[in-house]
Structure 1
Amino acid sequence: MDYYILVFVSIFALIFLYIIAKISNKGNKKLPPGPSPWPIIGNFHLLGAKPHISLANLAKNYGPIMSLKLGQITTVVISSSNIAKQVLQNQDQAFSIRFIPNVLQAHNYSKFSVVWLHVCPQWRMLRRILNTKMVSPNSLDANQHLRSQKVKELIDYCEKCSQQGEALDVSQVAFKTILTLLSNTLFSKDLANPFSDSKVDELKDVIWRIMNEVGKINLVDFFPILEKIDFQGIRCHAAIHIGKLFELFDGWINERLEEKRRGCCEKSDVLEVLLNAENTQEINQNHIKSMLLDSFIAGIDTTTNTLEWAMAETLRQPEIMKKAQVELAEVVGKGKSIKEDDVSRLPYLQFIVNETLRMHPPAPFLIPRRVVHDVKLFDYIIPKGSLVLVNVWAIGRDSTFWEEPLIFKPERFQSLELDVRGKDFELIPFGAGRRICPGLPLALRMVHVMLGSMVNSFNWKLEAGIDPKDLDMDEKFGFITPKAHPLRVIPSPL
């Protein structure tokens, strides 16, 4: 009986809130255009299984700035580069606050995360630590030998598969390579053999489960009245997985604190920097764990997916693979290791990565934003509390700028002087402005070197004799959009 009462009260409350919302919006004539909402659910029925594609199609009818109602939340979708520039650069202060999914409130993660904190002195301090101690040019150069070692281990594993004629999962080997790299950078810990250790597989599973929960459409985010119910169980599941990582981080932090108490020599990793900052009372252990989680989630999945998509696209067009191999042979030498300094002399390799990021941006909506007061954007008013989505997937396929946008064509960048570092808003896979992804410099170094090394060391064919033209390129929607079906390939000698 209590269950039915709860359902009745919830339905009544939703209807009441819908009526109030309709009354309060009657006088609002300056919202961007958009489809008429249904009672209670708003425009949820229009999202489909892949909202970034559905919203891109809707934008063809309603324009590059449109509004929808998702439950109780007014949602504004940006689908053009010039409006994205206004939001992310010209008016970035008004749009700098994150829309925090309920799922990330588990263990108070979002309250201490540099990704999710609002712009404040605490955020600036955490961002400064990241920029100066982890992803600055000097810091990255100092750790270049470490990244080279991890890429060598990747190539050694590919060589083993080549000798045995076995297929490998590109996503898995890339994930483990980057995971072991980050663990060394963050904790000075090498997580054993990156391609066989079951503990690494368990850690990978936990991280992927967190990303899976974050990527789900959680009705609690759009019907705040349901917050205490969590009837989809998304926050509960995320709390379990985040708790496992926090427990692991606690163990590593306590181990390091014990070393410091014993007077052991300081290490030159990120954890040491964070603990020294904690000693000055700038941050506490909650900040440290959240920043480590930021690094694991943002640093691993985006790079892994970009590498997998790049390999998939080049395999579909053998002439692209051949052209890249010719360039690598001329500049680096056939079969030789690629160094990060070589990348600047490999324009076609850079074109491949840029084209991959254009067609397959890691996060199709970037990180959602929220306005905390009414904001004027061009001729429209974005109401207080609105969710703002920048559809970089749509921007990267905008036919008014990109010629033949649905075709993977690296050569287009020979005549386009565009950069993915947030200056050219036609290509902003990592965002732009003050809240651009801080891990961008590391991600770009890793993607280019890993992709170039794999292409320069082996020929590649699809498992089970699949014709490249028949390769399934379907994607799975989420906070990050990986291939729906893992890319399995067989390396062979050049």
Structure 2
Amino acid sequence: MELISPTVIIILGFLALLLFFQRKNLRGPPCIRGWIPWIGAGFEFGKAPLEFIEKARIKYGPIFTVFVMGTRMTFVTEEEGINVFLKSKEVNFELAVQKPVYRTASIPKDTFFTLHEKLYVTIKGKIGTVNLYQLTGQLTEELHEQLEKLGTHGTMELNNFVRHLLYPVSVNILFQKGLFPTNERKIREFHQHFQAYDEGFEYGSQMPECLLSHWSKSKKWLLALFEKNIPGIKTYRSAKDNSVTLMQTLLDIIEMERNEEKSPNYGLLILWASLSNAVPVAFWTLGFVLSHPSVHKTIVEGISSVFGTAGKDKIKVSEDDLKKLPLIRWCILETLRLRAPGIITRKVMKPVQILNYTVPSGDLLMLSPFWLHRNPKYFPEPEVFKPERWKKANLEKNAFLDGFMAFGSGKYQCPGRWFALLQIQICIILILYKYDCSLLDPLPKQSSLHLLGVQQPEGQCHIEFKQRK
């Protein structure tokens, strides 16, 4: 029997070693699979997803995969993974959101891909930093109109208080003046259906519509509202300056691409995008300000120094006025830090290497702004509401603090972020100028049930407001 030569043994040994390292390098992150086929860890994950993410990070390390409802979600929590999420050409935003967009707004994949880039650039230009302050007068006027309807005093649940201000203001400015109903019954109907759609949006983005009858009913009601009003939105012109609204500009692009039949669907998507985060951010900001007496006092003193002490005048708010009241903007950004979205996502198109792991194509790569904002490396005393930390940000150049990702990051950051910030700033100025406000309940905790968008409150919180004398 012929012995194997030493050379062959060395070659075979080398190949075995090479295969070992290749297999090691192709090792995927730790995977939490659960024990039920297809559902995976869905039940445990769904009970409190934010808490689940943090417990998994502590147990499995900075990168781990969760298998839920047939989908692999790989979470990254440290710098190397975050850099891949933000900078890799092998991960894609549009592929990650195409299915949720179809389920929640019934916009087909081909239509979404054809129009997304053009619509994104248009929104970014129309309500971005260049044109933003042209809207201050309109925002101020609309908010005065809604504040008048609240009367001179009252008590109200804080979320409803904010909704009664921002729902009509956003609809009338972004779509068409007068589109928001003025009849009390129709206002209640709009509130009922939008809240049902918004509260069920996360489930609607993941589950077949046939399993969500209540949510589906509200979705269809909102689509019918836009279908009825799209012709009027197209032809509307402002009586003051003949300007066009954001939705009118978008309709021109949609029609140019011969997708007129999807105009109501885009109306619904823009409506949700404009209200779903702005309302809870305004809720939490007012709640935090009123819960911190020194912050509240400083803001009211600042408003009085700029606009006077009386609360009856219909003041006008300019860009210069906003610059004199930086604490309000700091409070909004600090609120966004503390109540940031649970996740933002990309789809892995080709395998990517993170630390010693390979994340396979097809995975959804997940980043949690909520937990990133609680990293003491970026934000010392992360659980404390400290608006003064934003002094260090270069907000005049529209630069946030390092590690801040409430609006996402990279190519497809939220295109309406500057409009939302402006709207909430002016809203808070006018409320605290006109009214003495106080909370009647402790500020509730954030709900742990949702991952999409700004965190919602777990319970109710009432506000008392009295017109200043």
User: Shorter-chain TM-score: what band?
Assistant: 0.7 to 0.9
What is the distance in 1 between the residues matched to 2:215 and 2:404?
32
Percent identity, please. 17
Other structure's SS at 1:143 match: helix
Contact 1:33 1:67 in 2 (8 A): yes
The residue number in structure 2 matching 1:178 is 166
Matching residue within 298, 307, 313 for 1:323: 298
The residue number in structure 1 matching 2:198 is 211
Matching residue within 457, 460, 463 for 1:489: 463
What is the distance in 2 between the residues matched to 1:103 and 1:128?
18
Contact 2:200 2:215 in 1 (8 A): yes
1:210-255 deviation per Cα after TM superposition (whole angstroms, max 9, x unaligned) = 22222238875xxxxxx6xx77x12x54443222222211211234
The residue number in structure 2 matching 1:276 is 252
Corresponding position: 1:400 with 2:377 = yes
What is the distance in 2 between the residues matched to 1:154 and 1:314?
21
Matching residue within 420, 426, 429 for 2:406: 429
The residue number in structure 2 matching 1:223 is none
Contact 1:430 1:436 in 2 (8 A): yes
Matching residue within 426, 429, 439 for 1:452: 429
The residue number in structure 2 matching 1:6 is none
Letter in 2 for 1:299: S
Q: TM-score, normalised by structure 1?
A: 0.77
Other structure's SS at 2:92 match: coil
What is the distance in 2 between the residues matched to 1:140 and 1:219?
34
What is the distance in 2 between the residues matched to 1:124 and 1:206?
29
Q: How does 1:108-119 map to 2 (within 5 A)?
A: 108-109=106-107, 111=109, 117-118=112-113
Matching residue within 100, 103, 110 for 1:105: 103
Q: CA deviation at 1:147?
A: 0.7
Matching residue within 302, 309, 322 for 2:284: 309
Other structure's SS at 2:327 match: helix
Corresponding position: 1:354 with 2:346 = no
Contact 1:370 1:387 in 2 (8 A): yes
Matching residue within 28, 31, 50 for 1:31: 28
1:309-348 deviation per Cα after TM superposition (whole angstroms, max 9, x unaligned) = 1111122221221122223233443356362512222222
What is the distance in 1 between the residues matched to 2:330 and 2:234?
45
Letter in 2 for 1:365: I
Contact 1:334 1:457 in 2 (8 A): no
Matching residue within 256, 262, 265 for 1:290: 265
Q: CA deviation at 1:442?
A: 0.8
What is the distance in 1 between the residues matched to 2:417 and 2:459?
26
Other structure's SS at 1:176 match: helix
Q: CA deviation at 1:439?
A: 1.2
What is the distance in 2 between the residues matched to 1:302 and 1:201?
20
* Higher Rg: 2
Matching residue within 128, 142, 152 for 2:134: 142
The residue number in structure 1 matching 2:343 is 365
Q: CA deviation at 1:473?
A: 2.6
Aligned length in residues: 435
Contact 1:321 1:455 in 2 (8 A): no
After the TM superposition, which of the residue ranges 429-438 and 452-461 deviates more from structure 2?
A: 452-461
What is the distance in 2 between the residues matched to 1:167 and 1:291?
36
Corresponding position: 1:475 with 2:454 = no
Corresponding position: 1:246 with 2:223 = yes
Matching residue within 166, 175, 178 for 1:190: 178
1:253-305 deviation per Cα after TM superposition (whole angstroms, max 9, x unaligned) = 23456889xxxx976223433443355x3242244323322221011121110
Letter in 2 for 1:325: V
The residue number in structure 1 matching 2:120 is 127
RMSD: 3.3
Q: CA deviation at 1:489?
A: 0.4
Letter in 2 for 1:210: Y
Contact 2:351 2:360 in 1 (8 A): yes
1:95-135 deviation per Cα after TM superposition (whole angstroms, max 9, x unaligned) = 3222445684266335478xxx45xx532222222223x31
The residue number in structure 1 matching 2:92 is 95
Matching residue within 49, 53, 56 for 2:54: 56
Contact 2:33 2:68 in 1 (8 A): no
What is the distance in 1 between the residues matched to 2:181 and 2:231?
24
Other structure's SS at 1:109 match: coil
Question: Quick one: structure 1 residues 39 and 425, their matched pair in 2 at CA, closer, same or farther if it must change by over 3 Å?
Answer: farther
Question: Quick one: structure 1 residues 339 and 302, their matched pair in 2 at CA, closer, same or farther if it must change by over 3 Å?
Answer: same
What is the distance in 2 between the residues matched to 1:62 and 1:149?
53
What is the distance in 2 between the residues matched to 1:213 and 1:180?
21
Other structure's SS at 2:117 match: helix
Other structure's SS at 2:465 match: strand
Q: CA deviation at 1:421?
A: 6.3
Contact 1:30 1:381 in 2 (8 A): yes
Q: CA deviation at 1:415?
A: 4.2
Q: CA deviation at 1:82?
A: 5.9
Question: Quick one: structure 1 residues 81 and 440, their matched pair in 2 at CA, closer, same or farther if it must change by over 3 Å?
Answer: farther
Question: Quick one: structure 1 residues 190 and 81, their matched pair in 2 at CA, closer, same or farther if it must change by over 3 Å?
Answer: farther
Contact 2:124 2:415 in 1 (8 A): yes
Other structure's SS at 2:106 match: helix
Letter in 2 for 1:356: T
What is the distance in 2 between the residues matched to 1:442 and 1:31?
41
5+ long unaligned stretches in structure 1 = 1-25, 221-226
Contact 1:140 1:442 in 2 (8 A): yes
Question: Quick one: structure 1 residues 482 and 112, their matched pair in 2 at CA, closer, same or farther if it must change by over 3 Å?
Answer: farther
The residue number in structure 1 matching 2:439 is 462
What is the distance in 1 between the residues matched to 2:176 and 2:383?
43
Question: Quick one: structure 1 residues 300 and 189, their matched pair in 2 at CA, closer, same or farther if it must change by over 3 Å?
Answer: same
Contact 1:364 1:392 in 2 (8 A): yes
5+ long unaligned stretches in structure 2 = 1-22
The residue number in structure 2 matching 1:17 is none
Q: CA deviation at 1:375?
A: 2.6
